[in-house]
Amino acid sequence: MNDKPGSAIKSVHVTLDILEAIAQAKDGMGVSELATRLSSTKATIFRHLRTLFERGYLSQDAASSRYRLGVRTHLLGRAAAQRVDLLTQSQQAVAELREETGESVTISAVGMRGVIVLDTVYGTSMFEIGVRPGTEMQFHSSAQGKIALAFSRQPLMDLVRGKELERFTEFTVRDIDALEKEVEQVKKQGWATAPQEMILGLNAIAVPIFDETGDCVGTLGLVGFAQFIGKEPPARHLLALKRAGERISANLGYRPSGA
């Protein structure tokens, strides 16, 4: 394959065109049909199809040899929908939480490599304290990440356990036994902090956001100076955060057992 930038970009376009064409076809599509539709050669289309099939983004009917969308494509779509829902269903609760506490508020989605910030609404302070949307925070060094470790149904702790924990500050928890002990405590209390573990002088408190299946798909957090949000956060902040998190979870269809 040609490694020139233009060739690489063209290859990506072909891959996306294939996925979009198959997504629109009710009964899937074959190699020849795709080649005609996309004005390409069967050899080129076949190479892309095999890669997508091997990666699980396409499946193939054994009888007709036609290709359909695969499980991994479905999972991507579901993850994207969840994140859109998170933003849509959290807007009012986030705005009210910011006004009630004066602190910056973050909404994050749980990923397999970390917690991804979807949106930050800055607090009422003259300083813009928060985390930029798109930032991926590691599980072990953030309040949001510890919430994900404690409440997600995904085997996230196994992923963390298998690698060296990166040090961001002198306060970052890098011992896996200490982290597991802290995550167990987070499970019991329902919230997490990470004072100065990512950035000196800053802290966050976070709570889980659950979807209709009861899985933790996101986190809601307050971010501020460590002297105002300590390891034991202000009771009024914690109460407001929990209430907002429960409201967003309810918007996503979550109903606690026994409720």
Reported confidence tier of residue 145, pLDDT bands at 50, 70, 90: very high
Q: What average pLDDT does this structure show over 252-257?
A: 87
Question: Are 65 and 145 within one domain?
Answer: no
Question: Are 47 and 96 within one domain?
Answer: no
Question: Are 109 and 21 within one domain?
Answer: no
Helix (H, G, I), strand (E, B) or coil at 134: coil
Residues 215-229: tens digit of each pLDDT: 999 999 999 888 888
52 Cβ contact list (under 8 Å, min separation 6): 15, 18, 19, 58, 67, 70
Give the pLDDT confidence score for residue 230 in this predicted structure.
82
Query: How many residues would you count in the chain?
Result: 259
Question: Are 122 and 219 within one domain?
Answer: yes
The answer as to whether 128 is a domain residue is: yes
Mean pLDDT over each residue of the chain, to the nearest integer: 89
106 burial type by CB count under 10 A (0-12 exposed, 13-18 middle, 19+ buried):
buried
Number of C-beta neighbours around residue 205 at 10 A: 28
The answer as to whether 194 is a domain residue is: yes
How many structural domains are present in the chain?
2
